Chain A
Amino acid sequence: MVATWHFALLLSVLLMVSRGLANEVTPDHGVDTSISEPAAGNETQSQHNTTGDSGHAGGHGGEPITTLPIVTWKWHHVSTPYLVALWILVSWLCKLVIEANHHVTNVIPESALLICFGFILGGMVWGADKVQTFTLTPTVFFFYLLPQIILDAGYFMPNKLFFGNMGAILIYAIIGTCWNAASLGLSLWGCHKGGAMGDLDIGLLQYLLFGSLMAAVDPVAVIAVFEQVHVNEVLFILVFGESLLNDGVTVVLFNVFDAFVSLGGSQIDAVEIIKGIISFFVVAFGGSLLGFVFGLLVSLLTRCTKNIQIIEPGFIFVLGYLAYLTAEMLSLSAILSIVFCGVCCQKYINANMDEKSVSTVRYTMKVLANGSETMIFVFLGISAIDKTIWVWNTGFILLTLLFIMVYRFIGVFFLTWILNRYRLVPIGFIDQVIMSYGGLRGAVAYGLAVMLDENKIKEKNLMISTTLIVVYFTVIFQGITMKPLVTWLKVKRAAVTELTLIEKVQNKVFDHVLVAIEDISGQIGHNYMRDKWNYFEEKWMSWALMKPSVRKSRDHVFSVFHQLNLKDAMSYVAEGERRGSLEFIRNESAFIDFKKKFGDEFSEAMPDIMANMSDDHGAASDRRRDPVPSVSLEMHEQTMKGMRETEDINTHHLLQQHLYKGRKQHRHRYSRSHFDVNKDENEVQEIFQRTMRSRLESFKSAKMGVAPPKTISKYSKKDQQQKMPNGKSLDRSKSYYSGDEDFEFSEGDSASGYDASGSTFPMRVTYRAGAGIENPAFMPDMDPMTPIQIPPWLMEAELDSGMVAPSQRAQVRLPWTPSNLRRLAPFRASAQSNDSFMLADAPATQQRDDEELPPPPSPPPPPSNRDGGYM
């Protein structure tokens, strides 16, 4: 039902698009569009052939008007961005329709279906225009669609696994790709000479150029297929890492051969070839280095963005994109650059940024990457429906397909054979088969093929058609058969693991043991190197790139502990909420949701074991569904799976609301930086506001040799009266407090004082009575102390309210925001006004502007207050 509706919607949108086109196709001179029209479109519609600028100007009255138009039709004014937006919408709707039909996606991978949708859409456009108005152009692909996908891959790279298998990945990516390119080019050339494909105007260099563009396994296609197959993580990282890096390699190769073709065969001598090889390495390593530099830059930048948290996530995208463009500008490998930018910065930015920002980055990354992946596939399909590009040459096309398969198998088996001599855990035969079979080609090859220069390569269209055929064949046919093959060959699937603390501890012990044994046996091995790197990283990189506040509590064992605790706390809350009883907590489904959500949100505490995290996600969503790769780079997959169930959404909602229950755990991480405390636990602020004030007073006076109890009374009493209206929140905070002994307001008197203030009125009365008794006795002491604690800037204006200056301001604001008082007042009163404030959820957000615009004549809360409070 739903799918039908969606489809109807899609069609209507499509109709709009094509009608818009048929009526008034607009020229497209801007590069910032994902829809570029071929020259033919411009010519046939030359009457509209105004430039983009004049199009804009025309909208504002290029011609004299006779009367005031109430509304005008200004299609040209908006056409380009409008079409871009429409196409994005259409592509995403395609995905929506596809994902609504589960039984189909179980058999046919999504990427294949998207291509098929592209066929249909392309057919419609063709039918309306008699010309393919929209195709995927290299500019759009390489500048606007590809970067975010690669950045996403780099950012979510399971670093440990990646660098652990770095040797193998590099060998596959560099040697394997060169092998593929050379063998395909030479074999085709040989077949050509042998007369297998008739009369073609292609020389050896052109064949090699073609080979180089066909050589690379495409990361987009590979992720799209492999993420649904769930192979074991080593196999996954090998295929994925290879596809990612060899994209860089293949672009480099392509450029080198392109230059050779331009030079012409006669000009190429040994010097040029050597220059080509040197340029290959310079481009590849230069690009990686550049990415590394940009990664460090991002990390450094996020060290100091705490005051602009709202746009903090944007830096990652902007700098990542700049890394890409800079590399492109220097003719270095842009893909490698952005990969390494993502890989390098992930640990530090996850640690440096606020956790909300981290989840923003993660989700935005997924939205962008997934969105453009969808568009790429759809447009790959659309591009095919174009009579002008199709040149059929059976020999050429079939031989290309054959050679690609054969040489891929040969290359993988040969390289694996070499690698296995050095690998501790060899790559098995079945894994090799899957690796070979997973050699999917994709949009990168197509993009490169379209970039070919028609003047230099006469058979450009044949190459494009062949590339398209290869892409369709590999993505659709191999994509469909991959899953049955994996099942049939019984490929080791991703292990379903549950994150346990003891295991983490154990692995840590093993690490140490291995290093020690290497020390003892005098061998400098893998573990030794890793240990040295870790040491270096810990000592220097973290020092330079991480905020001091987050550097401390970063031990893995500890973060697992933290994470597990969070998980428990979350499930505890949610189940309590949902069922009213905690019996349900034993049900595993509860754990699943929490892991998933909070894995995302809190994994910045443990970037190094991110692999475990996603592992964990996988394991989690697994229980009731398919197995999921234990290292999944596609977090969106699990998220989406989860989202399909309203139950999950509910849970998420509950989580957001009740995050504060985790404060027991938060405290560990945040207590060291006052700034971060209670960041997302709004309600805890209330507890703090109440108990801290009283605790502080007692603490200080205890230091000064005065008995604690007296202080409570004076200040908190006043405050109580302010806060009593919000009875509900008091109730809540009270129950949290009492449920959580770990919160360490250890001294009985203040605790009771707190409890009293939080509970019903009669109790409060008794409390006040107690205070009344104590107060007079100690009052003389109090007065000399007060001025010390009130900073000078507070003295004049707010002395009357004593210590609680901020809450007085909150009080002042009361008339504006009665509904928010409950939330705001505690914030203002607390030491962390701004940040916790920004993170307050919905109702508070409206208020934020008001609050922040007049820069608060900000009385920074007494410093002693904080220190005492959190230590």
Chain B
Amino acid sequence: MGSSSSSMDHIPNAEELMQETGFSAAHLLRLYERFEFLDKDQTGELRPEDFGAIGGLALNPIGDRIISAFFSPGQETVDFPSFVRVLAHFRPNGTNRTRNGTQQEPVNSRTRKLKFAFQLYDQDRDGKISRAELLQVLRAMLGIQVTEEQLQSIAERAIQEADLDRDDAISFDEFKKVQQVSPHPQTPTKETPLHPTEGGR
């Protein structure tokens, strides 16, 4: 996939990154190749447009939100370590193999995963999902199928369900609680299979 046959030496701070994110060397290498592949103009940094060039992402209704989650506020580019750190959220939290990160909050813990998802909603980063923010996401996902007022009542209802302190917005704690109360069958897949063995399934 990657144009250059990169080895671990090319990756800056490889050791540190591995420790921090829990990725294995093979993962890191693969991600680095991917990073270089995405980095069309070889600046060593990715711009939003680079992400936009990914075909599937353009079709994704919340693709732009996910892209923007890679960029820390105010920044126009993302370098490889940050790229990896974001992706590390999605490493399977090791019930089976990798138990290394349990001593302190690992980047791929359930809370951090939820936090990531939470930030997709919380565009103004005030720590709450307001009704307007929820509505935006809903609108993106439901698209033209549903009329505006239906969307609004869905948003209304969703907020009511989660909103425990009646402030008409969903805080992160409330958000977390919703997901914890009801472990949905789908939750396992929430961790994207970044492990190489997963890809084959």
Check B199–A630 contact: CB distance below 8 A: no
Check B185–A611 contact: CB distance below 8 A: yes
Cβ-closest chain B residue relative to A501? B158
Instruction: Count A-B contacts at CB 8 Å.
Output: 174
Check A523–B194 contact: CB distance below 8 A: yes
Segment among B12-20, B58-66, B101-109 that sits at the interface with chain A: B58-66
At the interface, yes or no: A197 with Cβ under 8 Å from chain B?
Answer: no
Residues of A within 8 A of B134 (CB): 505
Check B201–A161 contact: CB distance below 8 A: no
Cβ-closest chain B residue relative to A672? B145
Check B56–A519 contact: CB distance below 8 A: yes
A426-B95, A503-B184, A564-B157 as given contacts; A514 in contact with B57, CB under 8 Å = no
Check A425–B188 contact: CB distance below 8 A: yes
A156 CB to nearest chain B CB (Å): 16
A517-B66, A564-B157 as given contacts; A524 in contact with B199, CB under 8 Å = yes
Segment among A214-222, A549-557, A633-641 that sits at the interface with chain B: A549-557
Partner among A512, A521, A611 whose Cβ is within 8 Å of the Cβ of B194: A521
Check B154–A557 contact: CB distance below 8 A: yes
A424-B189, A513-B66, A553-B145 as given contacts; A520 in contact with B178, CB under 8 Å = no
Partner among A426, A508, A535, A611 whose Cβ is within 8 Å of the Cβ of B96: A426
Complex CA–CA separation, A160 to B200 (angstroms)? 19
Check A515–B137 contact: CB distance below 8 A: no
At the interface, yes or no: A522 with Cβ under 8 Å from chain B?
Answer: yes
B66 CB to nearest chain A CB (Å): 4
At the interface, yes or no: B11 with Cβ under 8 Å from chain A?
Answer: no
Residues of A within 8 A of B158 (CB): 500-502, 505
Check A512–B87 contact: CB distance below 8 A: no
A288 CB to nearest chain B CB (Å): 20
- 1/0 per residue, CB under 8 A from A, across B161-201: the answer is 11000000010000000110111111011111111011111
Complex CA–CA separation, A449 to B33 (angstroms)? 59
- Secondary structure at the B interface, as helix, strand, loop or mixed, is helix
A237 CB to nearest chain B CB (Å): 10
Cβ-closest chain A residue relative to B196? A523
Cβ-closest chain A residue relative to B170? A502
Check A558–B200 contact: CB distance below 8 A: no
Check A506–B90 contact: CB distance below 8 A: no
Complex CA–CA separation, A425 to B185 (angstroms)? 12
Check A512–B62 contact: CB distance below 8 A: yes
Q: Which residues B13-55 have CB closer than 8 A to chain A?
A: 31, 34, 37-38, 51, 54-55
User: How many residues of chain B have a CB within 8 Å of chain A?
Assistant: 65
Complex CA–CA separation, A505 to B134 (angstroms)? 9
Cβ-closest chain B residue relative to A428? B95
Residues of B within 8 A of A167 (CB): 201
Check A630–B185 contact: CB distance below 8 A: yes
Check B142–A497 contact: CB distance below 8 A: no
Interface range for A: 35 or more
Partner among B60, B146, B162, B181 whose Cβ is within 8 Å of the Cβ of A555: B146
A573 CB to nearest chain B CB (Å): 19
- 1/0 per residue, CB under 8 A from B, across A416-445: the answer is 000011101110000000000000000000
A424-B198, A501-B161, A522-B1 as given contacts; A558 in contact with B96, CB under 8 Å = no
At the interface, yes or no: B132 with Cβ under 8 Å from chain A?
Answer: no
Partner among A160, A505, A630 whose Cβ is within 8 Å of the Cβ of B138: A505
Residues of A within 8 A of B146 (CB): 553, 555, 558, 668
At the interface, yes or no: B141 with Cβ under 8 Å from chain A?
Answer: yes
- 1/0 per residue, CB under 8 A from B, across A393-433: the answer is 00000000000000000000000000011101110000000
Residues of B within 8 A of A612 (CB): 185
Cβ-closest chain A residue relative to B70? A520
Which of B87, B192, B200 counts the most chain A CB atoms within 10 A?
B192
B50 CB to nearest chain A CB (Å): 10
Residues of A within 8 A of B1 (CB): 522
Partner among B95, B142, B184 whose Cβ is within 8 Å of the Cβ of A557: B142
A502-B178, A512-B141, A516-B60 as given contacts; A521 in contact with B87, CB under 8 Å = yes
Check A510–B190 contact: CB distance below 8 A: yes
Residues of A within 8 A of B193 (CB): 424, 523, 525-527
Complex CA–CA separation, A612 to B198 (angstroms)? 26
Partner among A514, A522, A611 whose Cβ is within 8 Å of the Cβ of B37: A522
Q: Which residues B130-159 have CB closer than 8 A to chain A?
A: 134, 137-138, 141-143, 145-146, 150, 153-154, 157-159
Check B57–A525 contact: CB distance below 8 A: no
Check A514–B62 contact: CB distance below 8 A: no
Complex CA–CA separation, A403 to B201 (angstroms)? 32
At the interface, yes or no: A518 with Cβ under 8 Å from chain B?
Answer: yes
Check A422–B200 contact: CB distance below 8 A: yes
Partner among A501, A512, A553 whose Cβ is within 8 Å of the Cβ of B60: A512
Complex CA–CA separation, A4 to B120 (angstroms)? 63
A424-B188, A515-B56, A516-B60 as given contacts; A500 in contact with B178, CB under 8 Å = yes
At the interface, yes or no: A507 with Cβ under 8 Å from chain B?
Answer: yes
Can you report 9 A-B residue pairs in the complex whose CB atoms are below 8 A from each other? A234-B185, A424-B189, A510-B189, A512-B60, A512-B63, A514-B90, A516-B56, A516-B66, A520-B51
* Extra A-B contacts (10), CB below 8 Å, given A500-B178, A523-B192, A554-B145: A161-B185, A167-B201, A501-B157, A503-B182, A516-B67, A519-B60, A523-B193, A526-B189, A558-B145, A561-B157
Q: Which A residues form the contact surface with B (CB < 8 A)?
A: 160-161, 164, 167, 233-234, 420-422, 424-426, 495, 497-498, 500-503, 505-528, 531, 535, 552-555, 557-558, 561, 564-565, 611-612, 615, 630-631, 668
| 7 A-B pairs with the lowest CB-CB distances in the bound complex, closest first | A519-B56, A522-B34, A502-B158, A516-B66, A497-B182, A501-B158, A502-B162
